[in-house]
Every structure is written in structure tokens, then in C-alpha cells.
Amino acid sequence: MVNRVLLTGAGFTHNFGTPLADGMWSWIFNDGEVQKNKKIRNLFANSFDFERIYQNAHTDKYSEEDKNIIHLATLNAYRKIDTILKNNTNQGEMKRNFFKQLLINNFIEKNDSPVSFFTLNQDLFFERSRDYLVELGSRVKCPCVEKMPAINNINDLGIDIGSIDICDKSFKQNKIEYENTLAKGKDKIAISYIKLHGSQNWLENKGNNQVMVIGSGKQEKIQNNFLLKYYFELFEKEINKEHTRILIIGYGFRDNHINKTLINAVQKNDLKIHVISPEAPINFKNKLLTIKNGKLLFEALSGYYENKFAEIFSENRAACKTPAWEQIEQNFFNE
């Protein structure tokens, strides 16, 4: 019995027009209020880790004015991402095939248990695309998060209205309810959508309106947040099940805590890794070899599909399959 898991990173939604980290930095740096403030402008000019700057901005060493400038510039950048995901129709066929061909026809139909879809992204790609999963209805769950933004309302963001609480009930009760439902199988939950690094519409601290997005110091941040800690436990548990294959899309293998967890699963339970990436295989291998024990990751590679995501999913692949898509079906989804 094969257990199949999906993991996506920033490079995944980049296929749908959103920026990578460098692009986010540029949007924030170019913000009019940031450019007017020499101190803040220099702060970004000397660090390209916009998430770390955002986190540090909520400490006492910043004035309220500085905090507000960084806060609003960052939120505006995330709003731009959400606008792209909501309004961009150019990738409609690619999105449709991703949900229908990959998630529904393969992950759901060929997994005996509910599908675990893990993401490192903090954008609302999945939430804004739930109309592609309409036949699954309530069987799509984001564990312990009971409210999701409305698909058709671009302004319905937790960061704007400040009313989306990640736990409307107690966390303990939400966790018990989710796990009880999960145990009942695919008839109750088809997809568990798990945002390992938080989400742009979740408020980490209602008192200071801080959005739950994490950058540097991710492992410590995860351990100090009850929801993210639980999500990471789910990730560890899922990829350590027997006969597990993980399909990775758009992850650059730059997060030590993710790499370490993958390596542990490879060593202990023979995790099989499949990767969709436009990067040349030799470059991919060389990148992994710079990671501690990265050689083990490469040795666990059971499928590498050197394609841009759009080259695989942009057309009706049921009628015209690319060689890469055929390989994914044969290698990853076979029994």
C-alpha cells in the first residue's frame, strides 16, 4: 500500500504569476513609504530577508511609525500576490489540470487514505482555487482552521478584517475533532491542506495584528507556536509512514528543518523522493551536495522531472500527455 504525499514551495505558485522571495523584497523595497524613510530603506537595502525584517519590526527597538511602515508595506505585497491569484485567468487551464489531473484523479483516487498536501507557501493559492474542488465539498480540511476566505471576494482577507481566528474553539478540541474525522478515511476527508509556515491571512497575535508568516529562525518559531508545531508533527508522521513517496514541486531545499526531516525519513523509513523542477539535474545534485547529509537526499531521488510546471499541466493532458506527465504517472502513481 503506497502512501503519496505532496509538498509545494514558492516555486509552485510562481508558475501562476506570483513572485519568489526576491520579487517580494522588491515590492516591499519599492513601497512609497519605505522609500521616504531613510532608516527603513537602508534596512531593506542591507538585508534581503524580508520575513526576518517583518518579524523584527514588531520588537521594541522600532518606533511605532517604523513598525507601521514595514507592516503595511509587507501586507501590501501580500495583497498584490492575492490579487494575482484571484484575477489571473491566463493560467486557468494549468490550474484546472493541476487540481483535476494531479490532485483528484491521481492523489485522491490512488491513495487509500486522505491526501496530505503540505505547503511552505503563505499565499492563498489553494484557498482562492477551491472552486476546482467543489465536488469534494467539506472533505477538504485545513486542520484546526475552521474559516477560509471567500473565493470570490478579493477583500475577504484575515489581514484586512482581523477576524479570522485560527482556533474558533480551543485548539485541543479542534485537534481532536480533526483527528477523529481523519481516522474515518477518505469518505470524510479527501485532502488535508497543511501550511507549515503559516499564512498571510492568519494573525499570530491579535493584539499587534502580526500576520503569521515566518522566515529566519523557522525551527524555533515553529516550536513556539502551538499550531505550526502540530503541523510539523503531522509532516514528520506522514513522511515516516511505510511505503511513502513524496512529490516536491517548487521547493529550493533551503530550509534546514525541512531538509533534516526529509533526510531522517529517508534513513529510517526509506522515503522515496520525486521532484518536479526546471533545474538541470546536475545543478540540482550539486545544490543538494552543499546540504549536510544532502547526498542522502539525492540517493533517495526516485524520480526527477526536468520541466517547467506549465509544460506539464498547461494543456488538456488527458488528451495529450507530455512525456514528463507520463513518467510521473508511471513512476510516482504506479503501485
135-192 residue pLDDT tens: 888 899 888 876 665 555 544 444 332 334 455 557 788 889 999 999 999 999 999 9
Same domain, 39 and 116: no
> Which residues in the chain land under pLDDT 50?
154-165
Asked if residue 128 lies in contact with residue 154, where contact means CB atoms within 8 angstroms, the answer is: no
Same domain, 290 and 200: yes
Same domain, 152 and 282: yes
pLDDT of amino acid 156: 47
Which residues form the domain of 233?
A: 3-17+91-331
Same domain, 97 and 80: no
Sign of CA dihedral 113, 119, 122, 126: negative
Same domain, 55 and 189: no
pLDDT of amino acid 174: 82
The CATH number that applies at residue 221 is 3.40.50.1220
Q: Give the residue from 34, 57, 87 where a domain finishes.
A: 87
For residue 116, list its beta bridge partners.
Answer: 5, 192
Same domain, 115 and 256: yes
Same domain, 82 and 95: no
Same domain, 154 and 48: no
98-140 residue pLDDT tens: 898 899 999 999 999 999 999 999 888 998 888 888 888 889 9
Q: Give the residue from 41, 56, 87 where a domain finishes.
A: 87
Q: What is the largest CA-CA distance in the chain?
A: 59
Q: Give the residue from 87, 102, 133 where a domain finishes.
A: 87
Same domain, 181 and 307: yes
Same domain, 113 and 151: yes
E strand segments, the chain:
3-8, 115-119, 140-141, 191-195, 198-205, 210-213, 244-249, 272-277, 301-306
Q: How many domains does the chain have?
A: 2
pLDDT of amino acid 54: 84
Same domain, 161 and 286: yes
- Burial of residue 73 (number of CB atoms within 10 Å: 0-12, 13-18, 19+): buried
